[in-house]
Amino acid sequence: MSLVGLAHFIELTALAVTFILLVRYWWRKCRLSLSDCIIDPSTIVLIGVVAFVVVSAVYATCAIFMYMVFPDYTYWLIGA
């Protein structure tokens, strides 16, 4: 695996862990149980969508920073 591939793997792993931790945090903060989600599944969908938006914003911020610092980053990805 190349250095860039390893960086992407670490980045996506960190985003997945952030998503899971956000869902878990909001689940506990709202004091939800599984029976609540069976009765009203929109709450877990809302939590998932909000967590996805937050993780997407973090990803976009990281991508913008990466392209500002390393403008030739796309050439590294294709191995040029």
The answer for residues whose C-beta is within 8 angstroms of residue 32's C-beta and 6 or more apart is 43, 44
Global confidence as pTM: 0.61
**What's the CA gap between 55 and 20, in Å, rounded?**
10
Given this model, what pLDDT does residue 23 score? Answer: 82
Given this model, what pLDDT does residue 36 score? Answer: 66
Given this model, what pLDDT does residue 21 score? Answer: 86
Coil/strand/helix, residue 33 = coil
**What's the CA gap between 26 and 1, in Å, rounded?**
36
Task: Kindly report, residue by residue over 25-65, the tens digit of the pLDDT.
Answer: 887 887 777 676 667 777 778 888 888 888 888 888 877 87
Alpha-carbon radius of gyration of the chain: 17
Residue reference for tokens 């390893």: 6
**What's the CA gap between 21 and 13, in Å, rounded?**
12
